[in-house]
Structures are given as C-alpha cells and as structure tokens.
Amino acid sequence: MLNLLAHLSDDLRTNSWKNNEMGIRVSVQVPDGTFISITDNTFQSKAIFNFLSPVILSCLDIESDDEKVSEGVNWIAELRSQMSEDICLLQKALWGYWEYSKNDYDQYLLDYESMVGGLPKMTYERFLEECKAEEASWIDTLSLKNTVDDLVKVLENIDDEESWFYYPEATIKDFKDLSLALEIALKGNQSKARLWTS
C-alpha cells in the first residue's frame, strides 16, 4: 500500500487529477494470477481509480492541504453515510506496485533507487509488514461484489456534478462492469479477488 500511496501522492502533487491524467488504472485479479476484463473487453478502468483516490484518503484518514482534494474526501464521507456496505472494503482490496515476497528484501533494496514518491527506505521489519499487507489484500469476492453493487445503487440515486474524481456516466458504468467481473470470478469459483493497480 505504501508504493500505491506514493503514486497517488505523485498524481495529487503534480495536479494530474485536474486534467483527468491520473496515471493509475484498476484491474480485477484473482489468486491464480489471472485478470478479469472489467470495461469494454479491456482489463483496466481509469475511472475506478480516480473515484477510489478520495476513498483511499478517507478510509486511511489522510488529510490534504489541497482544497479540491479535501472536498473530494468530504464528499466520500457523505457517500459512506448513505451506504449499507463499507466502501473501505474497496480500499482494502486495492493492491499493486508490489512484486516482492518476504524473501526479496535484498532485491527491494536494489530496486529502491528507482522508486517514485520519495518514500523513505523500508526497514526489514516494515518490509515484512508490507508483505503481510499484500496477503491481506485478497478479499472475499462476494463481499467485494456486494460493496460495489451498494455503491452503484447510491451513486445512481444522487445528482452530483462531474469533479476531479467523479465522472457520473463513466464512473457508474465502470463500477457496474466491475460488478460483472466479480460475478464472473464467483461463477469461476474464485472466492477471493482484489483490485490490482498499475
């Protein structure tokens, strides 16, 4: 999650969100390593991560000095109060930019120099915690689908304008497609899934 937050902070710091240029996309991944298509026969959705950006900040209680970003976080807080499912499950299911196992600390140290975001180098103990967090990103597929369905229902019943993270038509469509991808995973007996970022 630390590397994902570094990429998010880069996008926020460089104001790429103002021009809909967020560099992170979301795919559905199942434990066997395969990805399930979620939008128009492609594997990735930019609209989902744009929307989840303030969700991440809200669920992790991360504050921003940027007024627009803070407005997005407050908007998500209001949305959370209208949902029966916990939207933070989507944040917990997000994973990416981490391809290490507990035995790869030496490789991490070699790769550290090319990492973005100015994160401090992790100690071995912190590295092991991040490896455990990777394992925890696998979420019950049905719970994830129920959360997505609840979110779509709430979004369809609000009348809000487009913003840096919410494009009503694209966002709702991509979350509906995400629900269908999770349904495909369930039909394929995939009891766990996560939202892979790239």
pLDDT for the residue numbered 12: 46
pLDDT for the residue numbered 138: 94
pLDDT for the residue numbered 17: 41
pLDDT for the residue numbered 191: 96
Q: Which residues of the chain have pLDDT under 70?
A: 1-24, 39-44, 97, 115-119
* Residue-wise DSSP of the chain: -HHHHHHHHHHHHTTGGGGT-----EEEE-TTS-EE--BTTBS-BHHHHHHHHHHHHHHTT---S-HHHHHHHHHHHHHHHH-SS-THHHHHHEEES----TT-HHHHHHHGGG-SS-PPPPPHHHHHHHHHHHHHT-EEHHHHHHHHHHHHHHHHT------SS--HHHHHHHHHHHHHHHHHHHHTT--EEEEEE-
pLDDT for the residue numbered 128: 92
